[in-house]
Amino acid sequence: MALLKKIKLLLLKKLAKAMIQVIVFSSRVRISGQETVAALQKDNLPLIYIFWHRHILFVIHKFKNSGARPLISLSSDGELVAAVAKEFGMNPIRGSSSKGGARAFLHMARCVQNEKAAVLITADGPKGPARKVKDGTVQLAVKTGAYVIPISWSGSRVKVLKKSWDRFMIPLPFGRIHFAFGQPLRLDADSNAADPAQAGAMLEAKLNRLEESL
């Protein structure tokens, strides 16, 4: 059974990679807001990218071979996502709020503070509620002092999985994709993150506004 699972995972990750490549290579992709992020990267400043779970498919491709470390759950679904991320040259950090969270949190903190590696976090993942920022995202930003950068994308041809908890988005071939970086911000425990719930609501508003602007 273990061998069959490995074969299935191998086939699925190769299929998913090929599908994503066909979608992206056949689409017109526009990137906005990257110049601000480039300035932070040039100064080797710690970065935390946050996005809604429904956008993860294109995010993996956008950050391929970039050195950014995505946080991916230890669930069976997460196993496939992590495998696909590795196909695109990424090194996932595994864990979530419900399983392996403490270890994943410390791992991300080390990556951001010591290795100066950017991390990618599905702010409402892995299981929702949709569009609600998890406390761990706020805690990581405060602990590390990293810049938090909202990211989002939209497409002219998109399949929305309406029965999924997050209304997962799959871009379709031969369309237009607009990927955007929002304005970076820092969370300070003495000011805008003194109340974690309020800080989470602020990040939610920024993510939603960015998505609506596309």
- Show the tokens assigned to 129: 């509620």
pLDDT at position 209 is: 98
Domain residue limits at 102? 2-213
Query: How many structural domains is the chain composed of?
Result: 1
pTM for this one?
0.94
Residues 6+ apart with CB under 8 A from 72: 78, 81, 82, 85, 92, 93, 94, 126
Say which residue, 102 or 156, is predicted with more confidence. 156
pLDDT digits (tens, 9 = 90+) for 5-15: 889 999 999 99
**Percent with pLDDT over 70 in the chain:** 97
Nearest-angstrom CA–CA distance, 202 and 138 = 10
Q: What is the CATH number of the domain that holds 6?
A: 3.40.1130.10
Mean pLDDT of the region 100-107: 88
Confidence of residue 30 (pLDDT cuts 50, 70, 90): very high
Say which residue, 98 or 170, is predicted with more confidence. 170
